[in-house]
Amino acid sequence: MISNGIEIATSALIAHKYAMDVIGNNIANVNTPGYSRESIVLQTTDPTIIPVISNNKPMASLGSGVKVSQIQRIRNEFLDTEKQNLSTTSGEWSQTSQNLGIVESTFNEPSSTGISAGLNSYWNAWQSVASPDPSSSAARTTLVSQGQLLANQLSTTRKGLTDLQTSNDKDIVAKVQTINDLADQIATLNGQIVKSQASGDANNLLDKRTQLVGQLAGLVNIDYYQDATGSATIGIGGGFLVSNIDVAHIQAKPDSMNKNFNNVVWADSGKSVSITGGELFGLIQSRDVKVQSYIDGLDSLAKSLMSQVNAVHQAGFGLKGETGLNFFVGTNASDMTVNAELVYDPSKIAASGQNVNMSGNGDTAAAIANIRTKASLNSGSTSINDFYQNLISKMGTATSEAKTKVDMNTAMMTQVDTQIASVSGVSIDEEMSNMIKFEHAYGAAAKYIATVQRTLDDLMAVLK
Amino acid sequence: MRITNNIVADQVLVGMQDNLAQVSDLQIQLSSGKKFQKVSDNPVDMARVMRLQDQMNKDTQYATNLDNLTPCLSTTDSTLSNLVTAMQSIQQLTKQYQNSAVQSSNNTLMSTNMDTLLGNVIDLANQSYNGRYIFGGNNTATKPFQLLADGRIKYSGTDDVLKAQVTDTETIDLSVNGNDLFSTHSVLGNQGMGSSTSKIAGLTSNTFSIKVGADTAVNISVGTGTSDVTLQGVADAINNSGVQAHAYIKDSPQGARLKIVSDYVGKDGQLVLSDGAAGGVLEHLGLIDNTGAIVGPQTDTSAGLMDTMVSLSKTMKAGGDITAQAADINTAYQNVLKYQGRVAILTQNADNRKSMMTDMSIKRQDLMSSIWDVDMVKATSDLSRETAAYQASIQAGAKIIMPTLLDYI
């Protein structure tokens, strides 16, 4: 029965050696992203039955040692789901905020170089033509330059916005590729996890998958289920992206109805993917709705400016009686420019309201300068300057809202991350105290072997 | 809650980042002097700032408009003073002539003196400021007053005054027009039309005639028939007919009205208007009645200074009686004094406007400053508080992150 003692001690040494290995692994991965700490679960081995002298029981069970029953992955799945949802919202708003930030710097208001300053200089240039001397070629030349500058500011700003749309579109293509890559990796992991779960623990594979699903959730709105075998199913807006080891890819397809920008469709059926969240949604929204609304705003401004100035200008007279000329030519903010005839010969600018004795008449110029305050847009409630200010104000409010959302999401994300770390993160203090515990147990077991050995030695001495 | 070392480290970092962001924000505020830099920093106040900037920009332009034209007003003022002096000499000369016994040698001399004074007055009437004839209305390219060989004085200017826009909706006059000051005959229609381009209904004739002074009457017909006459058509027909007068369309509370202004100063330019038939164009526009007598407001041709001087010179040379002309000179003198008073009022008005603008601009600047400018004292003390907090968080962080149980085993 003495060998029993050695068995017990050996099992203790082995189990505690494993326990310290788990601690070692935890400490090694203290800074590994997505790592869930592991804890060893010890269990008694099956007892041996020994005969005893007792009144009612002939046998007793004697403990036979300890064994490792499981190496457990400490994880709270609820928090993972929470984080996935937050990632989806956060992904959307971070893209929105980034894009609106670019829109804001494209408009560059308030500044001495923005459209607002350009508009003011343009109206003032008309005032300077109107008085004191409408025939002054210096005032007329300045007016042409200010007109060109304004047209240029409008077209440059619009170009900045369309460039942003194009860059969003390129990002969408890249994100679609990333989503497909992630789906492929998750499907492969699904296969490995199911296999590993059957024979043992798949802790590190699960960690890896949780991380990939987290990344995917940041990109697009997903529905996530995990079945009893450990396999994960991922859907986007009702369609299956990953189901066990099968993947349905999505695809970016140029849409001729939408300026050949890419639409996201299912590769097999060609139907649109219903995207309602994540970075991909943020990018699509920004490209098709948000940035587009500022482009539309600039175009309305440019069109209204051109039509109003031209209408008054056509009715006026140049220094030699020229009439019926447009001041601006173009169709919208992108191609608006000052009429080349006026650039070539500013004396043709129709500053006068009459075609006889017109050299000192600045009535038309004054009328154009007053378009500044004329409520002509939004069915006669807003002037051109107000319209632009409202556009900028709207943009500022939207940008500020997006920033607040991002801040809020970041704070909530930090909180969930803290909660996850609180459950799954490695605490060095805890590991150290466990190490001391296991080290002592290991030492005690070793000491027990020495005792057993001494007992055996005593026995051997008797037998000699 | 279970706390791991990394949670502590992350939280210290988040706290420090927050503090540093505050410090950085305050530093940007202090270095720029503005509470917010981008529209999204404070959309509501930024909208107010942009509106104010817009308004201030307009105010600056309006002030420039005024500044550009007020020197012209003072030139007008000094010209009128000189004119008054000249007129006193004229009155002296007429009195001298009336008091003296008939002496033919002196008469010629007095007549020559009168011619010299006339030259003087015409020079004053052709005074310019910055290349612009101040009494020529919108026609800045031609000298407004010219003495013709036949002794008439032709006015080439227009019936306009210089105006400066001083608010979004208001313009103020900054000169007096030459035709009123030196009395060229003008008649304003009593009847306003809704629009200068709408057809005038109920006409019996689409022709009329205008006779200027001693010239032969010019017959003018408008449109293709009695139902094809517009106010604009009438004005264009007069201006293109070659008659020595100009037509203008004047906006008034009663609507658009026709004004006919003769090209000749004083009695030489006396307008005689008549319609092709009773109930014709000019009657409809309220210029004459059905007998051809002028009913609309008209200028007093006896206030014509220059034509009276021409006539004085002639009469003096011939040794004739100048009682009538002396009376006309007196009327002209009163007329000039009236306009001198008007210029004084215009100057005062411009000065008032200017000081109102300055006040307004200071108020707007104050408002802008209260919205946008950083309160330096507050920002500086905030900055030192935030800096202290940031330093504390760094120091505390360094102490918190370091120790683990590892240090004690």
Residue B386 lies in a domain: no
Q: Which residues of A touch B58 (CB under 8 A)?
A: 120, 123, 372-373
Q: How many CB atoms lie within 10 A of CB A83?
A: 22
DSSP string covering A18-48: HHHHHHHHHHHTTT-TTPPPEEEEEEEPPPE
Domain count, chain A: 2
Of residues A357, A421, A427, nearest to B138 (C-beta)? A357
Pairing of strands A250-255, A246-247: unpaired
Whether a cis peptide bond, with omega within 30° of 0, leads into A47 is no
* pLDDT number for residue B20: 92
Q: What percent of chain A has pLDDT over 90?
A: 72
Name the residue range of residue A447's domain. 2-74+425-463
- Say if CB A264 and CB A251 are below 8 A apart: yes
* pLDDT number for residue A51: 85
Q: Is A113 on the interface with B (CB under 8 A)?
A: no
* pLDDT number for residue A429: 87
DSSP-derived 3-state class of residue B247:
strand
The single-letter code of the amino acid at B321 is D
Q: Distance (Å, rounded) from C-alpha B141 to C-alpha A32?
A: 86
* pLDDT number for residue A357: 66
Rounded to the nearest 10°, the torsion over CA A94, A96, A102, A108 is -120
Q: Do B40 and A399 touch (CB under 8 A)?
A: yes
Q: Is B5 on the interface with A (CB under 8 A)?
A: yes
Residue B389 lies in a domain: no
Residue A440 lies in a domain: yes
Q: Do B138 and A429 touch (CB under 8 A)?
A: no
Burial (CB count <10 Å: 0-12, 13-18, 19+), residue B18: middle
Q: Distance (Å, rounded) from C-alpha A35 to C-alpha B293?
A: 108
* Same-domain pairing of B176 and B61: yes
* Same-domain pairing of A52 and A89: no
The single-letter code of the amino acid at A52 is V
Residue B407 lies in a domain: no
* pLDDT number for residue A2: 61
What CATH number does the domain containing B110 carry? 1.20.1330.10
Q: Do A421 and B164 touch (CB under 8 A)?
A: no
Reported for B345-352, long-range contacts at CB under 8 A and 24+ positions apart, including other chains, are B346/B73, B346/B172, B346/B173, B346/B174, B346/B175, B346/B176, B347/B70, B347/B73, B347/B74, B347/B77, B349/B172, B350/B66, B350/B69, B350/B70, B350/B73, B350/B164, B350/B172, B350/B174
* Same-domain pairing of A307 and A407: yes
* Same-domain pairing of B108 and B55: yes
DSSP-derived 3-state class of residue A233:
strand
Q: What is residue B288's DSSP assignment?
A: B
**Given phi > 0 = left and psi -120 to 50 = alpha, else beta, which region is B130?**
left
* pLDDT number for residue B68: 84
Residue A418 lies in a domain: no
* Same-domain pairing of B278 and B188: yes
Choose among A352, A286, A294: nearest CA to A319. A352
Which residues, 6 or more positions from B149, have their beta carbon under 8 angstroms from its beta carbon? none
Q: Distance (Å, rounded) from C-alpha A40 to C-alpha A70?
A: 6
Which residues, 6 or more positions from B179, have their beta carbon under 8 angstroms from its beta carbon? B137, B155, B157, B159, B186, B261, B299
Q: Is A34 on the interface with B (CB under 8 A)?
A: no
Residue A219 lies in a domain: yes
Q: Give me the mean pLDDT over the A324-340 stretch.
A: 93
Residue A180 lies in a domain: yes
- What phi and psi, each to the nearest 5 degrees, are found at residue B281? -60, -55
- Structural tokens at position A166: 């194009």
- Say if CB A319 and CB B139 are below 8 A apart: no
Is A358 a residue whose pLDDT tops 80? no
Residue A417 lies in a domain: no
Q: Which residues of B touch A110 (CB under 8 A)?
A: 39, 46, 49-50, 53
* Same-domain pairing of B289 and B310: no
- Structural tokens at position B97: 């002539």
* Same-domain pairing of B179 and B190: no
* Same-domain pairing of A398 and A430: no
> Of the candidates B266, B281, B299, which is a domain's last residue?
B299
Q: What angle do CA A143, A148, A150 make, to 5 degrees?
A: 95
* Same-domain pairing of A11 and A95: no
Choose among A412, A352, A175, A200: nearest CA to A281. A175
Q: What is residue B200's DSSP assignment?
A: P
- Say if CB A173 and CB A252 are below 8 A apart: yes
* Same-domain pairing of B194 and B324: no
Name the residue range of residue B271's domain. 184-299
* Same-domain pairing of B77 and B124: yes
- Say if CB B241 and CB B220 are below 8 A apart: yes
Tell me the three-class secondary structure of A67-106, residue by residue: EEEEEEECCCHHHHHHHHHHHHHHHHHHHHHHHHHHHHHH
* pLDDT number for residue B197: 84
* Same-domain pairing of B292 and B333: no
Domain count, chain B: 2
State the DSSP H helix or E strand holding residue A428, giving kind and residue range, or none if neither.
Answer: helix A428-463
Q: Distance (Å, rounded) from C-alpha A310 to C-alpha A327?
A: 5
Q: Is A135 on the interface with B (CB under 8 A)?
A: yes
Q: Do B38 and A396 touch (CB under 8 A)?
A: yes
The alpha carbon of residue A117 is apart from the nearest alpha carbon of chain B, in Å, by 8
* pLDDT number for residue B106: 80
Residue B197 lies in a domain: yes
DSSP string covering A234-291: EEETTEEEEETTEE--EEEEEETTTTTEEEEEETTT-PBP---SHHHHHHHHIIIIIH
* Same-domain pairing of B215 and B74: no
- The ipTM value here is 0.79
Choose among B378, B367, B371: nearest CA to B26. B378
* Same-domain pairing of A320 and A246: yes
* Same-domain pairing of B264 and B170: no
Of residues B54, B65, B72, nearest to A120 (C-beta)? B54
Is A14 a residue whose pLDDT tops 80? yes
Q: Distance (Å, rounded) from C-alpha A424 to C-alpha A412?
A: 18
Residue A443 lies in a domain: yes
Q: Is A146 on the interface with B (CB under 8 A)?
A: no
Residue A339 lies in a domain: yes
Q: Distance (Å, rounded) from C-alpha B24 to C-alpha B9?
A: 22
- What phi and psi, each to the nearest 5 degrees, are found at residue A5? -60, -40
Q: Do A359 and B140 touch (CB under 8 A)?
A: yes
The alpha carbon of residue A222 is apart from the nearest alpha carbon of chain B, in Å, by 28
* Same-domain pairing of B292 and B307: no
* pLDDT number for residue A173: 95
Residue ranges, chain B, pLDDT below 70: 101-104, 402-403
Of residues A358, A400, A421, nearest to B7 (C-beta)? A421
- Structural tokens at position B235: 């004005």
Which residues face A60 on adjacent strands? A50
Residue A267 lies in a domain: yes
CA distances to B41, B66, B197, B257 from A92, in Å? 21, 54, 59, 65
Q: Is A422 on the interface with B (CB under 8 A)?
A: yes
Query: Which of A400, A430, A437 would you mutate first to test chain B, the one with the most B CBs within 10 A?
Result: A400
Q: Is A120 on the interface with B (CB under 8 A)?
A: yes
* Same-domain pairing of B178 and B193: no
Q: What is residue B298's DSSP assignment?
A: B
For residue range A406-420, list pLDDT tens digits in order: 999 999 999 999 999
For residue range A88-117, list pLDDT tens digits in order: 999 999 999 999 999 999 998 888 888 999
> Of the candidates B249, B264, B299, which is a domain's last residue?
B299
Q: Distance (Å, rounded) from C-alpha A144 to C-alpha B50?
A: 25
Q: Which residues of B touch A360 (CB under 8 A)?
A: 132, 136-141, 158, 160
Q: Do A422 and B1 touch (CB under 8 A)?
A: yes
* pLDDT number for residue B103: 61
Choose among B32, B65, B292: nearest CA to A131. B65
Which residues, 6 or more positions from A78, have their beta carbon under 8 angstroms from its beta carbon? none
Scan residues 22-51 of B and list those with Cβ closer than 8 Å to A.
Answer: 38-43, 46-47, 49-51
Q: Is B229 on the interface with A (CB under 8 A)?
A: no
Scan residues 244-273 of B and list those with Cβ closer than 8 Å to A.
Answer: 246
